[in-house]
Structure 1
Amino acid sequence: MVLAGVDQVIAGVHLAGSAAPERFAWKVAARSLSDVAAMAACPAGMVVAAALSPDIETEWANRFASELQRIGSMFECPLIGGDIAVLPAVGDSMVFSSTVLATPDPEAGHRLVLRSEARPGDLVCVSGEFGASLDSDGGGHHQEFMPRIDVARSLHRSLGNCLTSMIDVSDGLSSELSHLSRESKVRIVIEGERIPRRHDSKLEQALCDGEDYELCFTVSATAELPACIAEVPLTVIGRVEHGEGVFLDSSGDQAPLEASGWEHQTRPAARDSSDSEGGFR
Protein backbone atom coordinates (compact mmCIF):
# COMPACT_ATOMS: atom_id res chain seq x y z
CA MET A 1 0.00 0.00 0.00
CA VAL A 2 1.26 3.48 -0.92
CA LEU A 3 -0.16 6.55 0.79
CA ALA A 4 0.02 10.13 -0.47
CA GLY A 5 -0.23 13.47 1.29
CA VAL A 6 -0.34 16.68 -0.76
CA ASP A 7 -0.27 20.32 0.31
CA GLN A 8 0.41 23.77 -1.08
CA VAL A 9 2.11 26.99 -0.01
CA ILE A 10 1.13 30.26 -1.68
CA ALA A 11 3.27 33.36 -1.33
CA GLY A 12 1.33 36.06 0.49
CA VAL A 13 -1.09 33.54 2.00
CA HIS A 14 1.00 30.95 3.84
CA LEU A 15 4.28 32.87 3.89
CA ALA A 16 5.36 36.41 3.08
CA GLY A 17 6.42 36.73 -0.54
CA SER A 18 9.78 38.02 0.66
CA ALA A 19 10.49 34.90 2.74
CA ALA A 20 13.76 33.08 2.12
CA PRO A 21 13.72 30.08 -0.24
CA GLU A 22 14.58 27.81 2.69
CA ARG A 23 11.37 28.93 4.43
CA PHE A 24 9.26 28.05 1.40
CA ALA A 25 10.98 24.68 1.03
CA TRP A 26 10.54 23.82 4.71
CA LYS A 27 6.90 24.77 4.90
CA VAL A 28 5.76 23.10 1.69
CA ALA A 29 7.51 19.83 2.60
CA ALA A 30 6.66 19.91 6.30
CA ARG A 31 2.94 20.43 5.70
CA SER A 32 2.72 17.21 3.68
CA LEU A 33 4.95 15.36 6.14
CA SER A 34 2.53 16.41 8.89
CA ASP A 35 -0.29 14.72 6.95
CA VAL A 36 1.77 11.53 6.90
CA ALA A 37 2.45 11.83 10.64
CA ALA A 38 -1.31 11.91 11.25
CA MET A 39 -1.50 8.33 9.94
CA ALA A 40 1.64 7.22 11.82
CA ALA A 41 3.06 6.23 8.44
CA CYS A 42 6.64 6.11 7.12
CA PRO A 43 7.66 8.70 4.49
CA ALA A 44 9.19 7.17 1.39
CA GLY A 45 9.74 10.04 -1.06
CA MET A 46 8.41 13.39 -2.22
CA VAL A 47 7.79 15.29 -5.42
CA VAL A 48 7.60 19.09 -5.44
CA ALA A 49 6.25 21.55 -8.01
CA ALA A 50 6.94 25.28 -7.99
CA ALA A 51 5.51 28.18 -9.99
CA LEU A 52 8.13 30.91 -9.59
CA SER A 53 8.09 34.63 -10.27
CA PRO A 54 9.97 35.62 -13.45
CA ASP A 55 12.34 37.76 -11.38
CA ILE A 56 13.52 34.84 -9.22
CA GLU A 57 17.23 34.27 -9.72
CA THR A 58 18.97 30.93 -10.22
CA GLU A 59 20.63 31.18 -6.79
CA TRP A 60 17.18 31.40 -5.10
CA ALA A 61 15.95 28.33 -6.97
CA ASN A 62 19.12 26.40 -6.12
CA ARG A 63 18.77 27.23 -2.42
CA PHE A 64 15.13 26.09 -2.53
CA ALA A 65 16.14 22.76 -4.10
CA SER A 66 19.06 22.26 -1.72
CA GLU A 67 16.80 22.75 1.30
CA LEU A 68 14.31 20.22 -0.07
CA GLN A 69 17.13 17.71 -0.39
CA ARG A 70 18.24 18.41 3.19
CA ILE A 71 14.69 17.94 4.47
CA GLY A 72 14.42 14.71 2.52
CA SER A 73 17.55 13.37 4.20
CA MET A 74 16.31 14.45 7.64
CA PHE A 75 13.03 12.51 7.33
CA GLU A 76 14.27 9.64 5.13
CA CYS A 77 11.99 11.01 2.42
CA PRO A 78 14.19 11.78 -0.59
CA LEU A 79 13.20 14.31 -3.23
CA ILE A 80 12.50 12.03 -6.20
CA GLY A 81 11.05 14.45 -8.74
CA GLY A 82 9.11 17.59 -9.45
CA ASP A 83 8.52 20.45 -11.84
CA ILE A 84 9.29 24.17 -12.13
CA ALA A 85 7.24 26.72 -14.07
CA VAL A 86 7.54 30.49 -14.45
CA LEU A 87 4.55 32.73 -13.76
CA PRO A 88 3.39 35.21 -16.45
CA ALA A 89 4.21 38.38 -14.55
CA VAL A 90 6.25 39.76 -11.69
CA GLY A 91 3.89 40.23 -8.75
CA ASP A 92 1.90 37.06 -9.38
CA SER A 93 1.83 34.94 -6.22
CA MET A 94 4.29 32.06 -6.32
CA VAL A 95 2.75 28.64 -5.68
CA PHE A 96 4.50 25.56 -4.31
CA SER A 97 3.07 22.05 -4.00
CA SER A 98 4.51 18.94 -2.39
CA THR A 99 3.30 15.37 -2.50
CA VAL A 100 4.79 12.98 0.05
CA LEU A 101 4.50 9.25 -0.60
CA ALA A 102 4.46 6.96 2.41
CA THR A 103 3.89 3.38 3.51
CA PRO A 104 2.32 1.82 6.62
CA ASP A 105 4.80 1.24 9.43
CA PRO A 106 6.02 -2.41 9.44
CA GLU A 107 6.98 -2.07 13.12
CA ALA A 108 3.32 -1.38 13.91
CA GLY A 109 1.94 -4.30 11.94
CA HIS A 110 1.36 -2.21 8.80
CA ARG A 111 -1.68 -0.69 10.50
CA LEU A 112 -2.80 2.83 9.65
CA VAL A 113 -4.20 5.18 12.29
CA LEU A 114 -7.37 6.77 10.91
CA ARG A 115 -9.73 9.54 11.99
CA SER A 116 -12.70 7.23 12.14
CA GLU A 117 -11.99 4.79 14.99
CA ALA A 118 -12.32 6.81 18.20
CA ARG A 119 -14.52 4.95 20.71
CA PRO A 120 -16.64 6.01 23.69
CA GLY A 121 -14.47 5.82 26.79
CA ASP A 122 -11.30 6.89 24.96
CA LEU A 123 -9.20 9.81 26.13
CA VAL A 124 -8.55 12.78 23.83
CA CYS A 125 -4.89 13.83 23.78
CA VAL A 126 -2.57 16.26 22.03
CA SER A 127 1.13 16.75 21.46
CA GLY A 128 2.87 20.06 22.05
CA GLU A 129 1.24 23.46 22.49
CA PHE A 130 -1.42 25.51 20.70
CA GLY A 131 -2.17 29.11 19.73
CA ALA A 132 -0.03 32.13 18.81
CA SER A 133 1.57 30.35 15.86
CA LEU A 134 2.12 33.69 14.09
CA ASP A 135 4.43 36.38 15.44
CA SER A 136 3.72 40.06 14.87
CA ASP A 137 6.45 40.21 12.20
CA GLY A 138 4.94 37.29 10.24
CA GLY A 139 7.42 34.74 11.55
CA GLY A 140 6.96 32.23 14.32
CA HIS A 141 5.89 28.65 14.84
CA HIS A 142 3.91 28.43 11.57
CA GLN A 143 7.14 28.51 9.56
CA GLU A 144 9.37 26.61 11.99
CA PHE A 145 7.21 23.68 13.16
CA MET A 146 8.56 20.14 13.19
CA PRO A 147 6.34 17.47 11.60
CA ARG A 148 5.56 14.92 14.33
CA ILE A 149 6.65 11.88 12.32
CA ASP A 150 8.75 10.40 15.13
CA VAL A 151 6.16 11.14 17.82
CA ALA A 152 3.36 9.50 15.83
CA ARG A 153 5.32 6.36 15.02
CA SER A 154 6.59 6.00 18.58
CA LEU A 155 3.04 6.37 19.91
CA HIS A 156 1.77 3.75 17.49
CA ARG A 157 4.58 1.30 18.16
CA SER A 158 4.18 1.56 21.93
CA LEU A 159 0.36 1.71 22.17
CA GLY A 160 -0.66 -0.42 19.20
CA ASN A 161 -4.43 -0.70 18.83
CA CYS A 162 -4.88 1.43 21.96
CA LEU A 163 -4.06 4.40 19.70
CA THR A 164 -7.53 4.57 18.17
CA SER A 165 -7.57 7.69 15.98
CA MET A 166 -5.36 10.62 15.04
CA ILE A 167 -5.28 13.84 13.02
CA ASP A 168 -2.78 16.65 12.60
CA VAL A 169 -3.84 20.15 13.62
CA SER A 170 -3.39 22.57 10.74
CA ASP A 171 -6.70 24.45 10.45
CA GLY A 172 -7.31 24.84 14.20
CA LEU A 173 -7.83 22.45 17.10
CA SER A 174 -11.61 22.98 17.27
CA SER A 175 -11.90 22.25 13.54
CA GLU A 176 -9.86 19.04 13.75
CA LEU A 177 -11.81 17.85 16.81
CA SER A 178 -14.95 18.28 14.73
CA HIS A 179 -13.44 16.06 12.02
CA LEU A 180 -12.66 13.34 14.57
CA SER A 181 -16.15 13.55 16.07
CA ARG A 182 -17.91 13.42 12.72
CA GLU A 183 -15.82 10.66 11.15
CA SER A 184 -15.80 8.49 14.28
CA LYS A 185 -19.51 9.22 14.96
CA VAL A 186 -18.88 10.11 18.61
CA ARG A 187 -19.28 13.00 21.03
CA ILE A 188 -16.06 14.68 22.20
CA VAL A 189 -15.84 16.66 25.43
CA ILE A 190 -12.84 18.94 25.93
CA GLU A 191 -11.66 20.62 29.14
CA GLY A 192 -10.34 24.00 28.06
CA GLU A 193 -8.00 24.51 31.00
CA ARG A 194 -6.12 21.36 30.06
CA ILE A 195 -5.15 22.56 26.58
CA PRO A 196 -1.43 23.50 26.61
CA ARG A 197 -0.97 26.97 25.16
CA ARG A 198 1.95 28.56 23.37
CA HIS A 199 3.23 31.91 24.69
CA ASP A 200 0.32 32.23 27.15
CA SER A 201 -2.17 32.49 24.31
CA LYS A 202 -5.88 32.76 25.07
CA LEU A 203 -8.13 29.71 24.93
CA GLU A 204 -9.81 30.96 21.75
CA GLN A 205 -6.43 31.26 20.06
CA ALA A 206 -5.44 27.76 21.15
CA LEU A 207 -8.70 26.39 19.73
CA CYS A 208 -8.95 28.42 16.54
CA ASP A 209 -5.65 29.94 15.37
CA GLY A 210 -4.40 26.86 13.53
CA GLU A 211 -0.97 26.34 11.98
CA ASP A 212 0.06 24.34 15.06
CA TYR A 213 0.89 21.11 13.20
CA GLU A 214 0.60 19.10 16.38
CA LEU A 215 -1.15 15.74 16.76
CA CYS A 216 -4.63 15.33 18.20
CA PHE A 217 -5.36 11.69 18.97
CA THR A 218 -7.48 9.33 21.03
CA VAL A 219 -6.30 6.44 23.16
CA SER A 220 -8.02 3.74 25.15
CA ALA A 221 -8.61 4.72 28.79
CA THR A 222 -6.40 1.79 29.84
CA ALA A 223 -3.44 2.91 27.71
CA GLU A 224 -0.27 4.02 29.49
CA LEU A 225 0.33 7.36 27.81
CA PRO A 226 3.89 8.65 28.32
CA ALA A 227 4.34 12.20 29.56
CA CYS A 228 6.43 13.01 26.49
CA ILE A 229 8.05 11.46 23.43
CA ALA A 230 11.27 12.86 21.97
CA GLU A 231 10.94 15.80 24.39
CA VAL A 232 7.49 16.64 23.01
CA PRO A 233 4.90 16.75 25.83
CA LEU A 234 1.70 14.72 25.53
CA THR A 235 -1.44 15.95 27.31
CA VAL A 236 -4.91 14.50 27.95
CA ILE A 237 -7.44 17.27 27.20
CA GLY A 238 -10.78 15.44 27.16
CA ARG A 239 -12.79 12.29 26.57
CA VAL A 240 -14.93 10.49 24.01
CA GLU A 241 -18.57 9.73 24.74
CA HIS A 242 -21.61 8.29 22.97
CA GLY A 243 -23.38 10.88 20.84
CA GLU A 244 -22.21 13.51 18.38
CA GLY A 245 -20.57 16.92 18.29
CA VAL A 246 -17.78 18.61 20.23
CA PHE A 247 -18.36 20.25 23.60
CA LEU A 248 -16.28 22.46 25.88
CA ASP A 249 -16.49 21.57 29.57
CA SER A 250 -16.00 24.48 31.96
CA SER A 251 -16.36 23.60 35.66
CA GLY A 252 -18.90 20.93 34.83
CA ASP A 253 -20.95 23.09 32.43
CA GLN A 254 -20.81 21.93 28.81
CA ALA A 255 -21.37 24.12 25.78
CA PRO A 256 -21.14 23.20 22.07
CA LEU A 257 -17.73 24.05 20.60
CA GLU A 258 -18.02 25.57 17.15
CA ALA A 259 -15.64 24.21 14.54
CA SER A 260 -13.79 27.46 13.97
CA GLY A 261 -10.51 27.87 12.16
CA TRP A 262 -9.08 28.32 8.70
CA GLU A 263 -11.75 28.11 5.98
CA HIS A 264 -10.13 27.25 2.65
CA GLN A 265 -13.14 28.09 0.48
CA THR A 266 -14.07 31.32 2.25
CA ARG A 267 -10.68 32.90 2.85
CA PRO A 268 -11.00 36.55 3.87
CA ALA A 269 -8.95 39.24 2.24
CA ALA A 270 -5.28 38.95 3.17
CA ARG A 271 -4.56 40.53 6.53
CA ASP A 272 -1.52 42.50 7.53
CA SER A 273 1.01 40.38 9.40
CA SER A 274 0.86 42.78 12.34
CA ASP A 275 -2.68 41.53 13.10
CA SER A 276 -2.22 39.51 16.29
CA GLU A 277 -5.02 37.13 15.36
CA GLY A 278 -4.03 36.32 11.83
CA GLY A 279 -2.02 37.02 8.72
CA PHE A 280 -0.20 34.39 6.74
CA ARG A 281 -1.77 30.94 6.89
Structure 2
Amino acid sequence: MKSVERQIIEAVSRIAQCDEWVNLRLGIGDDTAVYVPSIGEDLLLTTDQVVEGTHFEREIHPAHALGYKTIARAVSDIAAMGGNSLCCLLSLCLPDWTRPDWLRHYLRGLSVAIGRFNIPLVGGDVARGEKFNATLSAVGSVSQTAALTRHNAEPGDRLYVSGLLGGSALGLKILREGGSSRRVAVRRHLYPEPRLALGRFLRNEVSASAAIDLSDGLSSDVIKLALASSVAIEIDVRSIPCYRGCSVDEAIVGGEEYELLFTVPAKVKVPGAFDHVPLTKIGTIKTGSGVKLRTENGLITLQDRGFHHFESQ
Protein backbone atom coordinates (compact mmCIF):
# COMPACT_ATOMS: atom_id res chain seq x y z
CA MET A 1 0.00 0.00 0.00
CA LYS A 2 1.32 3.43 -0.95
CA SER A 3 2.18 5.85 1.84
CA VAL A 4 0.29 9.14 2.09
CA GLU A 5 3.50 10.97 1.20
CA ARG A 6 3.92 8.89 -1.98
CA GLN A 7 0.30 9.54 -2.95
CA ILE A 8 0.81 13.29 -2.55
CA ILE A 9 4.01 13.25 -4.60
CA GLU A 10 2.29 11.32 -7.38
CA ALA A 11 -0.64 13.76 -7.34
CA VAL A 12 1.77 16.68 -7.68
CA SER A 13 3.66 14.89 -10.47
CA ARG A 14 0.47 14.53 -12.49
CA ILE A 15 0.05 18.30 -12.74
CA ALA A 16 3.75 19.11 -13.32
CA GLN A 17 3.39 19.63 -17.13
CA CYS A 18 7.10 19.14 -17.90
CA ASP A 19 7.05 16.07 -20.19
CA GLU A 20 7.57 18.00 -23.45
CA TRP A 21 9.91 20.71 -22.20
CA VAL A 22 13.03 20.44 -24.35
CA ASN A 23 15.38 22.15 -21.87
CA LEU A 24 14.49 19.74 -19.09
CA ARG A 25 16.66 16.64 -19.21
CA LEU A 26 15.24 15.19 -15.99
CA GLY A 27 12.18 16.21 -13.96
CA ILE A 28 10.34 14.91 -10.91
CA GLY A 29 11.44 11.52 -9.62
CA ASP A 30 15.17 11.85 -8.98
CA ASP A 31 17.29 13.64 -6.38
CA THR A 32 17.34 16.79 -8.53
CA ALA A 33 15.93 18.01 -11.80
CA VAL A 34 18.39 18.55 -14.65
CA TYR A 35 17.96 21.70 -16.73
CA VAL A 36 20.00 22.56 -19.83
CA PRO A 37 20.38 26.37 -20.08
CA SER A 38 20.26 28.07 -23.46
CA ILE A 39 23.30 29.89 -24.79
CA GLY A 40 23.26 33.62 -24.14
CA GLU A 41 20.71 33.67 -21.32
CA ASP A 42 20.90 34.81 -17.72
CA LEU A 43 18.84 32.84 -15.22
CA LEU A 44 16.43 34.63 -12.88
CA LEU A 45 16.02 32.90 -9.51
CA THR A 46 13.33 33.81 -7.00
CA THR A 47 11.38 32.25 -4.15
CA ASP A 48 8.15 33.11 -2.38
CA GLN A 49 5.97 31.66 0.36
CA VAL A 50 2.28 31.26 1.06
CA VAL A 51 1.95 30.90 4.84
CA GLU A 52 -1.23 30.15 6.76
CA GLY A 53 -2.26 33.09 8.91
CA THR A 54 0.14 35.46 7.15
CA HIS A 55 -0.77 35.28 3.47
CA PHE A 56 -4.19 33.69 3.72
CA GLU A 57 -7.06 32.91 6.06
CA ARG A 58 -8.31 29.39 5.40
CA GLU A 59 -11.85 30.30 6.47
CA ILE A 60 -12.24 32.66 3.50
CA HIS A 61 -9.54 31.78 0.93
CA PRO A 62 -10.47 28.86 -1.38
CA ALA A 63 -7.89 26.11 -1.90
CA HIS A 64 -8.01 26.50 -5.69
CA ALA A 65 -7.11 30.20 -5.44
CA LEU A 66 -4.24 29.46 -3.05
CA GLY A 67 -2.78 26.97 -5.50
CA TYR A 68 -2.98 29.52 -8.31
CA LYS A 69 -1.53 32.28 -6.15
CA THR A 70 1.38 30.09 -5.02
CA ILE A 71 2.65 30.22 -8.61
CA ALA A 72 1.53 33.75 -9.48
CA ARG A 73 3.39 35.46 -6.62
CA ALA A 74 6.79 34.18 -7.76
CA VAL A 75 6.06 34.61 -11.47
CA SER A 76 5.38 38.30 -10.81
CA ASP A 77 9.02 38.70 -9.74
CA ILE A 78 10.13 37.29 -13.10
CA ALA A 79 7.75 39.69 -14.86
CA ALA A 80 9.33 42.66 -13.09
CA MET A 81 12.73 41.64 -14.47
CA GLY A 82 11.37 41.46 -18.03
CA GLY A 83 11.93 37.72 -18.13
CA ASN A 84 10.42 34.49 -19.38
CA SER A 85 9.28 31.84 -16.91
CA LEU A 86 11.15 28.52 -17.18
CA CYS A 87 10.35 26.16 -14.31
CA CYS A 88 9.61 25.98 -10.60
CA LEU A 89 10.06 23.83 -7.49
CA LEU A 90 7.48 23.51 -4.73
CA SER A 91 7.92 22.58 -1.06
CA LEU A 92 4.71 21.89 0.85
CA CYS A 93 4.23 21.74 4.61
CA LEU A 94 0.81 20.19 5.25
CA PRO A 95 -1.01 20.30 8.62
CA ASP A 96 -3.69 17.81 9.64
CA TRP A 97 -6.56 19.99 8.41
CA THR A 98 -5.46 19.69 4.76
CA ARG A 99 -7.76 16.82 3.85
CA PRO A 100 -7.57 15.05 0.44
CA ASP A 101 -10.44 17.07 -1.05
CA TRP A 102 -8.82 20.39 -0.04
CA LEU A 103 -5.46 19.29 -1.43
CA ARG A 104 -7.08 18.18 -4.68
CA HIS A 105 -8.55 21.67 -5.20
CA TYR A 106 -5.23 23.28 -4.26
CA LEU A 107 -3.40 21.20 -6.88
CA ARG A 108 -6.00 22.07 -9.51
CA GLY A 109 -5.34 25.76 -8.91
CA LEU A 110 -1.62 25.09 -9.08
CA SER A 111 -2.11 23.28 -12.38
CA VAL A 112 -4.09 26.17 -13.87
CA ALA A 113 -1.29 28.62 -13.04
CA ILE A 114 1.44 26.26 -14.28
CA GLY A 115 -0.27 26.10 -17.65
CA ARG A 116 -1.24 29.76 -17.80
CA PHE A 117 2.27 31.03 -17.10
CA ASN A 118 4.11 28.20 -18.88
CA ILE A 119 6.20 27.30 -15.84
CA PRO A 120 6.50 23.50 -15.42
CA LEU A 121 6.93 22.07 -11.93
CA VAL A 122 10.18 20.07 -11.89
CA GLY A 123 10.59 19.04 -8.25
CA GLY A 124 10.13 19.87 -4.60
CA ASP A 125 9.43 18.38 -1.20
CA VAL A 126 6.52 17.56 1.09
CA ALA A 127 6.39 17.41 4.89
CA ARG A 128 3.92 17.49 7.75
CA GLY A 129 3.73 20.48 10.09
CA GLU A 130 1.51 22.57 12.32
CA LYS A 131 0.68 25.24 9.73
CA PHE A 132 0.30 25.20 5.97
CA ASN A 133 3.29 26.59 4.10
CA ALA A 134 3.95 26.50 0.37
CA THR A 135 7.40 27.66 -0.73
CA LEU A 136 7.67 28.17 -4.47
CA SER A 137 11.09 28.64 -6.07
CA ALA A 138 10.84 29.87 -9.65
CA VAL A 139 13.39 30.07 -12.44
CA GLY A 140 13.16 32.50 -15.33
CA SER A 141 15.46 33.70 -18.07
CA VAL A 142 16.43 36.87 -19.86
CA SER A 143 19.07 37.72 -22.45
CA GLN A 144 22.47 38.22 -20.87
CA THR A 145 22.83 41.56 -19.02
CA ALA A 146 19.33 42.61 -20.18
CA ALA A 147 17.34 42.09 -16.96
CA LEU A 148 15.28 45.00 -15.68
CA THR A 149 16.29 45.87 -12.12
CA ARG A 150 15.39 48.40 -9.45
CA HIS A 151 18.80 50.06 -9.66
CA ASN A 152 18.93 52.09 -12.86
CA ALA A 153 16.35 54.86 -12.54
CA GLU A 154 17.92 58.23 -13.38
CA PRO A 155 16.95 61.83 -12.57
CA GLY A 156 14.64 63.06 -15.31
CA ASP A 157 13.05 59.64 -15.88
CA ARG A 158 9.28 59.34 -15.71
CA LEU A 159 7.50 56.98 -13.28
CA TYR A 160 4.66 54.79 -14.56
CA VAL A 161 2.40 52.11 -13.13
CA SER A 162 0.33 49.44 -14.84
CA GLY A 163 -3.31 48.71 -14.08
CA LEU A 164 -5.55 50.16 -11.38
CA LEU A 165 -4.50 50.15 -7.74
CA GLY A 166 -6.45 49.17 -4.64
CA GLY A 167 -8.52 46.36 -6.13
CA SER A 168 -6.84 43.49 -4.30
CA ALA A 169 -7.23 45.13 -0.89
CA LEU A 170 -10.87 45.86 -1.70
CA GLY A 171 -11.37 42.22 -2.68
CA LEU A 172 -9.90 41.03 0.62
CA LYS A 173 -12.19 43.40 2.51
CA ILE A 174 -15.22 42.02 0.65
CA LEU A 175 -14.18 38.45 1.46
CA ARG A 176 -13.78 39.25 5.15
CA GLU A 177 -17.25 40.79 5.17
CA GLY A 178 -18.75 37.64 3.67
CA GLY A 179 -19.15 38.94 0.13
CA SER A 180 -19.37 36.80 -2.99
CA SER A 181 -16.18 35.33 -4.45
CA ARG A 182 -17.59 36.19 -7.89
CA ARG A 183 -17.13 39.92 -7.34
CA VAL A 184 -14.51 41.30 -9.75
CA ALA A 185 -12.42 42.84 -6.97
CA VAL A 186 -12.45 39.53 -5.06
CA ARG A 187 -11.22 37.64 -8.10
CA ARG A 188 -8.50 40.25 -8.52
CA HIS A 189 -7.36 39.43 -4.99
CA LEU A 190 -7.64 35.65 -5.38
CA TYR A 191 -6.32 35.32 -8.94
CA PRO A 192 -3.71 38.05 -9.63
CA GLU A 193 -2.28 38.38 -13.13
CA PRO A 194 1.53 38.65 -13.26
CA ARG A 195 2.48 41.03 -16.07
CA LEU A 196 4.92 38.75 -17.91
CA ALA A 197 4.24 40.05 -21.41
CA LEU A 198 4.28 43.65 -20.20
CA GLY A 199 7.65 43.14 -18.50
CA ARG A 200 9.16 41.86 -21.74
CA PHE A 201 7.58 44.75 -23.66
CA LEU A 202 9.07 47.27 -21.24
CA ARG A 203 12.50 45.69 -21.60
CA ASN A 204 12.48 45.14 -25.36
CA GLU A 205 10.35 47.93 -26.80
CA VAL A 206 10.21 50.77 -24.26
CA SER A 207 13.77 50.55 -22.89
CA ALA A 208 12.53 50.97 -19.32
CA SER A 209 15.33 51.93 -16.95
CA ALA A 210 14.01 50.25 -13.77
CA ALA A 211 11.04 48.21 -12.56
CA ILE A 212 9.55 46.53 -9.50
CA ASP A 213 6.36 44.56 -8.98
CA LEU A 214 3.81 45.89 -6.49
CA SER A 215 3.44 43.15 -3.90
CA ASP A 216 3.68 45.08 -0.61
CA GLY A 217 1.86 48.21 -1.77
CA LEU A 218 2.81 51.35 -3.70
CA SER A 219 3.88 53.22 -0.55
CA SER A 220 6.41 50.49 0.26
CA ASP A 221 7.61 49.41 -3.17
CA VAL A 222 8.20 52.88 -4.62
CA ILE A 223 10.48 53.61 -1.66
CA LYS A 224 12.40 50.40 -2.40
CA LEU A 225 12.90 51.55 -5.99
CA ALA A 226 14.08 55.00 -4.89
CA LEU A 227 16.56 53.50 -2.42
CA ALA A 228 17.90 50.95 -4.91
CA SER A 229 18.49 53.65 -7.56
CA SER A 230 19.72 56.29 -5.07
CA VAL A 231 17.22 58.84 -6.37
CA ALA A 232 14.29 60.90 -5.16
CA ILE A 233 10.80 60.38 -6.55
CA GLU A 234 7.90 62.81 -6.76
CA ILE A 235 4.39 61.41 -7.31
CA ASP A 236 1.33 63.42 -8.32
CA VAL A 237 -1.49 61.91 -6.23
CA ARG A 238 -4.07 63.10 -8.77
CA SER A 239 -2.49 60.80 -11.36
CA ILE A 240 -2.63 57.58 -9.34
CA PRO A 241 -5.05 55.20 -11.12
CA CYS A 242 -7.51 53.94 -8.52
CA TYR A 243 -9.64 50.83 -8.76
CA ARG A 244 -13.35 51.63 -8.80
CA GLY A 245 -14.59 52.14 -5.25
CA CYS A 246 -11.11 52.78 -3.82
CA SER A 247 -9.76 56.05 -2.46
CA VAL A 248 -6.31 57.37 -3.36
CA ASP A 249 -5.12 56.44 0.12
CA GLU A 250 -6.31 52.84 -0.34
CA ALA A 251 -4.59 52.71 -3.73
CA ILE A 252 -1.32 53.88 -2.16
CA VAL A 253 -1.40 51.45 0.77
CA GLY A 254 -3.09 48.33 -0.65
CA GLY A 255 -0.82 45.36 -1.33
CA GLU A 256 -0.83 42.22 -3.49
CA GLU A 257 -1.51 44.15 -6.69
CA TYR A 258 1.25 42.47 -8.73
CA GLU A 259 1.21 45.38 -11.16
CA LEU A 260 4.49 46.81 -12.46
CA LEU A 261 5.95 50.12 -11.31
CA PHE A 262 8.58 51.25 -13.81
CA THR A 263 10.67 54.18 -14.99
CA VAL A 264 11.52 55.31 -18.52
CA PRO A 265 13.74 58.07 -19.91
CA ALA A 266 11.86 61.32 -20.55
CA LYS A 267 12.35 61.09 -24.32
CA VAL A 268 10.70 57.66 -24.55
CA LYS A 269 7.03 57.56 -25.54
CA VAL A 270 4.97 55.09 -23.51
CA PRO A 271 1.60 53.91 -24.89
CA GLY A 272 -1.51 54.57 -22.85
CA ALA A 273 -2.14 50.84 -22.52
CA PHE A 274 -0.59 47.45 -23.24
CA ASP A 275 -2.84 44.49 -24.00
CA HIS A 276 -5.80 46.43 -22.55
CA VAL A 277 -3.89 47.17 -19.31
CA PRO A 278 -3.59 50.95 -18.72
CA LEU A 279 -0.11 52.42 -18.30
CA THR A 280 -0.25 55.65 -16.30
CA LYS A 281 2.44 58.26 -15.67
CA ILE A 282 2.30 59.09 -11.96
CA GLY A 283 5.59 60.81 -11.19
CA THR A 284 9.12 61.95 -11.94
CA ILE A 285 12.58 60.83 -10.85
CA LYS A 286 14.71 63.56 -9.28
CA THR A 287 18.09 63.96 -7.64
CA GLY A 288 18.24 63.43 -3.90
CA SER A 289 16.50 60.82 -1.78
CA GLY A 290 13.06 59.91 -0.48
CA VAL A 291 9.60 59.93 -2.03
CA LYS A 292 7.22 62.87 -1.94
CA LEU A 293 3.58 63.22 -2.89
CA ARG A 294 2.39 66.32 -4.70
CA THR A 295 -1.04 67.14 -3.29
CA GLU A 296 -3.33 70.15 -3.56
CA ASN A 297 -1.70 71.37 -0.34
CA GLY A 298 1.86 71.02 -1.62
CA LEU A 299 4.55 68.35 -1.23
CA ILE A 300 4.40 65.84 1.62
CA THR A 301 6.78 62.98 2.42
CA LEU A 302 5.41 59.52 1.61
CA GLN A 303 5.50 57.18 4.59
CA ASP A 304 6.02 53.45 4.10
CA ARG A 305 2.64 51.99 5.06
CA GLY A 306 2.90 48.73 3.13
CA PHE A 307 2.95 45.21 4.50
CA HIS A 308 5.91 44.22 6.71
CA HIS A 309 6.27 40.74 8.23
CA PHE A 310 8.10 41.87 11.38
CA GLU A 311 6.33 45.16 12.02
CA SER A 312 5.34 44.21 15.57
CA GLN A 313 8.77 42.90 16.58
The TM-score with structure 2 as length reference comes to 0.78
**Which residue of 116, 128, 132 maps to 2:163?**
128
1:97, distance to aligned residue in structure 2 (A): 1.1
1:127-206 aligned at under 5 Å gives the runs 127-133=162-168, 134-138=172-176, 140=186, 141-160=188-207, 163-206=208-251
Matched, 1:232 2:277: yes
**2:66 and 2:109 in contact (8 A); partners too:** no
Q: CA separation in 2, counterparts of 1:20 and 1:252? A: 43
How many residue pairs get aligned? The number is 259
1:1-281 aligned at under 5 Å gives the runs 1-18=42-59, 19-87=61-129, 92-104=130-142, 106=143, 111-133=146-168, 134-138=172-176, 140=186, 141-160=188-207, 163-251=208-296, 253-266=298-311
Q: CA separation in 2, counterparts of 1:210 and 1:254? A: 24
Q: CA separation in 2, counterparts of 1:55 and 1:183? A: 42
- Matched-pair identity in %: 31
1:10, distance to aligned residue in structure 2 (A): 1.5
RMSD value, Cα:
1.8
Compared CA separation, residues 200 and 63, structure 1 to 2 (3 A): closer
**1:17 and 1:93 in contact (8 A); partners too:** no
Residue aligned with 2:267, SS: coil
1:132, distance to aligned residue in structure 2 (A): 4.2
1:260, distance to aligned residue in structure 2 (A): 1.5
Bigger shift: 203-212 or 133-142?
Answer: 133-142
Unmatched 5+ stretches in structure 2: 1-41
Q: CA separation in 1, counterparts of 2:239 and 2:127? A: 46
* Largest Rg, 1 or 2: 2
Letter in 1 for 2:148: V
Q: CA separation in 1, counterparts of 2:201 and 2:231? A: 26
Q: CA separation in 2, counterparts of 1:229 and 1:168? A: 16
Q: CA separation in 2, counterparts of 1:33 and 1:242? A: 32
The TM-score with structure 1 as length reference comes to 0.87
Letter in 1 for 2:79: A
Q: CA separation in 1, counterparts of 2:304 and 2:63? A: 33
**2:167 and 2:189 in contact (8 A); partners too:** no
1:110, distance to aligned residue in structure 2 (A): 5.4
Residue aligned with 1:4, SS: strand
Q: CA separation in 1, counterparts of 2:281 and 2:234? A: 11
Structure having greater relative contact order (Cα 8 Å, sep ≥ 6): 1
Bigger shift: 72-81 or 249-258?
Answer: 249-258
Letter in 2 for 1:11: E
